[in-house]
Amino acid sequence: MSLFTKPAVDLFAPYDASGTPREIVPQEAQVWGTEVERSILTFQAGGGIIFPDRATMDASLAYAPNQMAWVLGDATVANNGVYRKIGASGAGSWQRLGDLPYSFIKAVDVGAGTPNAIQATTGIPVSGSALVLLNIFEANTASPVTVAFNSGDALTIKTNSGNDVAPGGVVAGMIVLGIVSGSTFRILNDQVSSAIVAAAEAAQAAAEAAKADAEAAAQDAANNSYDFVRNFHKDGTTSDDANFTTLESLVSGRVIDLQGRKYKVSAKKTGNRYVNGYFVIDNADDTATIHYPAKDTLVPLGAPINLMPNERYIGWAQGGPGTYGDEVLVKMNSGAGHEDTSQYVLTRRSGDGGASFKDYPKALFQRSDGKREMSMAVDNVDGQWLMSTFLQTVGGEELKLYGKRASEYRQWGGSSPNPQVRVTTTNGSPNIVVYDPNHGVKPGDRVRFEQASATVGGLALSGVMTVVEGGETNFTVLAGSNATADDKNIDLNVTFIEDDWAEITFSGVSLGSAIVAASALGHTMPTQVSGIAGRKNSAGDIFVTIHGGGVSGPCLVGINNIFRTGAPRAVASVARIGGLTEGLEASIDIDHATGDMFGAIRTEGGYPYRRWYLPFGQTAGNAITATGPASPFGAASPIGIRKIPGKNAVFGIMSGNRLPATVDADPVLGLYLLYMSWDDFKNPASAGFDHIYLQDLHYTDYLVQDRNGTGVPGIYVTGDGEILGILWSDQFQIGTKNEGGQPSTFLQRLYIGPEAKPHAGAAPDVSGWFGSTPVLAYWPPEDVTELNGHFNTDGSLVKRTFRRGLRLACSTTGTGVYLVTFQDADGNAVNLGHINYYVGVTTYAGAHYCSFWNQTSTGFEVRTYDAAGAAVNRQFMVDVRIDNEWSDNRD
């Protein structure tokens, strides 16, 4: 039989069992209170025991069975209550029967909390079985309001009807009566009525003010859920002009998703905010069909990077950079103009896929013999960087091939996940053979060995050794003494050392001379190498593409044994690609999963550009060629092509290549991303690439007749095939050289995602597509010494800065030639001991330009020119940033 006629949880419930609000019946409360008081008296008369906490009670078992006890004051609220002894004295346990039989518990709010987060204390623990009387210290100012008893969990205060307390609903001095119910404290008396009235009036006003907004939102929701382009063709072939006309007569100013599809139209549509799709327009650039992306279709990763700020006439990112893992090696060319003898190569390198460039622009092949040495192709094969150049002047040309092993550290065995490496020696020979199929070293490269777990043939693998021979699966270094025969697997740490570029020759002659000697087509020296590619683990067997040299059409050149010396390094084959007798530069790439080769061939002279595909094992003459769609501009730039590894997708990049009418002509070049599936690429009957418009490019104002410094783009793939990088040349800004109208090379990364699509959806860290001002590709500024100088036409000082004990000095050595050196405070020459500093230089005024040359550890040259490219004395300003990681004189 129950101790109580009716439990408190029912007696004080705000709702009955059917959910209907109910009032508290005073007579029932009186009966319940009397029963509580009687039970307490009975408990005391019967020898009841009170423990301060449950732990004390559980340790006290010397009581007879059925002994009653209370726990009062345990920090864990659920441990307080009425208990009964189970089992014999000295054994057994205590069983909880229910909550403490208090009818009311007084709680005190002394203002320890806030008006909207009340902190209250009670003399005994609160529970859902007792009413709690709580005084209010200060009026609440917001809603909802919470209360925490005895530093317990915060309970949301609810009114008797289950609503949050309105602002001002509980006021200072007010006593509320309530009961704990789950995570709420349900008060039984009303909140202040004036607060309720104010809240109701505010709600009414807000509802009336929101009526129009709600109706508009409802309309927007209907619009967003409606497929506005449901009945459009969306195939890029059949015109959707009529469909857009109808749509824009009914709906305007709305965001409309084009669903990543193509819409054939006569002009871009502007009546709504179209996103995620393409407008396909015939004859948009010459006779070319162009895909214009709507907003949020392409996904850029960051703003474009200006790779060569303040340099002179930077162009030819042609084909694309070389990549090795996350390393990206960008090559460009600088000089006074196309076919000017001042041209040389500039490189920059990124270690994070092109997201940043923290190195310094490095000048290569600066010459003073009347020849220009430029590069149009760079790649990496198994870790070996390869770069082709051509020396060219009136009446003479020469093609060269350079290489250097990328710096890399590898661990074999030990704590690394790699197995031990096999090493062999031969009795009586100093040769040590290391079996690494991905070594990528050629004779002359250097390797450092460390922490070898054993000697091999009595020889210790320690320190720096020079490679004397390579192979498909191994390389050989030369020890200082002869070995005994041995063959074992050992732990070994290997560092491939990156030295400077070294020319790769063929029986003592250059690549160009070797091609001429091997060609059965009657080649003289070809115009240039336009592409390099190599198959993995093939002892350095590579392929290059060439054109010119008295032979029409692009040619594929096979070169054997760049790494191996056991067989002669030689030009093995020279043949026209697909038998073509027209076309200029051909790009080249290799699908390493199959060994297939492919690329694109530049157009000029009225014929279309082409794509080409050569299955593995076939000769160049058997390459499958197919014309692209009508080419933009008639004469297009060289075209970089890259297949996404493991995906059915091929991307390319191209730009125009034609002359404006005047210096002030509007930009006429477009930069275009190309896209098609790999299956379609290999099928000569397919329609070819989509041309996706990116932006307009601009001609250099001071060399209007030169079409080669603008555009000539490149492309690469990184980020496990989910990121494209594109490079192109353009003016940094529009205007004269001193207003920023100076050609430079830019890089932009695009997210294509795991599906390798040019509309991949959202990606992290995305900013606006082609922002208004490209960012400069500088290095971390925290440890850089920056020196500035302004010098007159005679080299005398106008003004300069002095930092970290250094300043700049200048003297003239010839017309338009200035020697800038480093000095200390006393005017003594300073040798930095390195050349890891960046020079930016510009002329002070007028239509002139300048460049820096012959960088050494003690200084560099500045050369100034007039608008026609002739040497002339001019004032100039120079900014030098010195990387202090390489310096010994830091602050």
Residue 623 has pLDDT above 90, yes or no: yes
Q: Which residue has the higher pLDDT, 354 or 761?
A: 354
| Cα 427 from Cα 482, distance rounded (Å) | 7
Identity of the amino acid at 526? P
> Which pLDDT does position 511 carry in this prediction?
95
Residue 664 has pLDDT above 80, yes or no: no
Range from 353-362, 463-472, 517-526, 589-598 carrying the lowest mean pLDDT: 353-362
Residue 311 has pLDDT above 80, yes or no: no
β-pair type (528-534, 542-547): antiparallel
| Cα 668 from Cα 408, distance rounded (Å) | 44
Q: Which residue has the higher pLDDT, 210 or 325?
A: 325
Give the range with max mean pLDDT: 208-212, 662-666, 718-722, 867-871.
718-722
Residue 565 has pLDDT above 50, yes or no: yes
Residue 97 tokens, joined: 């029967």
- pLDDT per position as a tens digit, 271-290: 998 888 899 999 887 678 88
Average pLDDT over residues 14-37: 68
Q: How much of the chain, in percent, has pLDDT values that exceed 90?
A: 34
> Which pLDDT does position 204 carry in this prediction?
62
Residue 759 has pLDDT above 80, yes or no: no
Residue 637 tokens, joined: 């730039």
pLDDT band at 403 (very low <50, low <70, confident <90, very high): very high
> Which pLDDT does position 815 carry in this prediction?
93
Report the C-alpha dihedral over residues 450, 328, 326, 293, rounded to 10 degrees: 180
- pLDDT per position as a tens digit, 528-549: 899 999 987 777 789 999 999 9
Average pLDDT over residues 395-414: 89
- pLDDT per position as a tens digit, 731-753: 655 444 444 445 678 899 988 88
> Which pLDDT does position 735 carry in this prediction?
43
Residue 635 has pLDDT above 90, yes or no: no
| Cα 344 from Cα 329, distance rounded (Å) | 16
**How does 9-33 read in b/e, with b if 16+ C-beta sit within 10 Å?**
eebbbbeeeeeeeeeeeeeebeebe
Residue 39 has pLDDT above 80, yes or no: no
Range from 213-222, 370-379, 579-588 carrying the lowest mean pLDDT: 213-222
CB atoms near residue 496 (< 10 Å): 22
Task: Tell me the DSSP string of 744-797.
Answer: EEEEEEEE-TTTT-S-----SS---TT-SSPEE----GGGEEEEEEEE-TTS-E
Average pLDDT over residues 467-486: 90
Give the range with max mean pLDDT: 81-90, 533-542, 875-884.
81-90
- pLDDT per position as a tens digit, 407-430: 999 999 988 889 999 999 999 999
Residue 134 tokens, joined: 């709580």
Q: Which residue has the higher pLDDT, 650 or 343?
A: 650
> Which pLDDT does position 133 carry in this prediction?
83
Range from 424-428, 506-510, 687-691, 839-843 carrying the lowest mean pLDDT: 839-843
| Cα 514 from Cα 546, distance rounded (Å) | 13
> Which pLDDT does position 772 carry in this prediction?
39
Residue 323 has pLDDT above 70, yes or no: yes
Cβ contact 8:100 at 8 Å: no
pLDDT band at 596 (very low <50, low <70, confident <90, very high): very high
> Which pLDDT does position 709 carry in this prediction?
60
> Which pLDDT does position 655 carry in this prediction?
83
Q: What does pLDDT average to over the chain?
A: 81
Q: What one-character DSSP code corresponds to residue 45?
A: H
> Which pLDDT does position 1 carry in this prediction?
37
- pLDDT per position as a tens digit, 667-684: 567 889 999 999 999 999
Residue 75 has pLDDT above 90, yes or no: no
Residue 397 has pLDDT above 70, yes or no: yes
pLDDT band at 201 (very low <50, low <70, confident <90, very high): low
Reduced to 3 states (helix: H, G, I; strand: E, B; else coil), residue 41 is helix
Burial class (CB in 10 A: 0-12, 13-18, 19+), 497: middle
Cβ contact 57:41 at 8 Å: no
Residue 216 tokens, joined: 């508009």
- pLDDT per position as a tens digit, 125-180: 787 777 888 888 888 888 899 999 888 889 998 887 788 888 888 888 888 888 88
pLDDT band at 69 (very low <50, low <70, confident <90, very high): confident
In 3D space, the residue among 386, 383, 360, 384 whose CA is nearest the CA of residue 375 turns out to be 386
If residue 822 lies in a helix (H) or strand (E), which one and from where to where? strand 817-823
In 3D space, the residue among 600, 592, 755 whose CA is nearest the CA of residue 689 turns out to be 600
| Cα 342 from Cα 197, distance rounded (Å) | 85
Residue 196 has pLDDT above 80, yes or no: no
Q: Which residue has the higher pLDDT, 219 or 308?
A: 308
Task: Tell me the DSSP string of 362-424.
Answer: EEE----SS-EEEEEEEEEETTEEEEEEEEEETTEEEEEEEEEEPPEEEEESTTSSSPPEEEE
Task: Collect all residues with Cβ–Cβ distance below 8 Å to 762 and sequence separation of at least 6.
Answer: 299
Average pLDDT over residues 290-317: 78
Residue 812 has pLDDT above 90, yes or no: yes
Residue 494 has pLDDT above 60, yes or no: yes
Residue 526 has pLDDT above 70, yes or no: yes
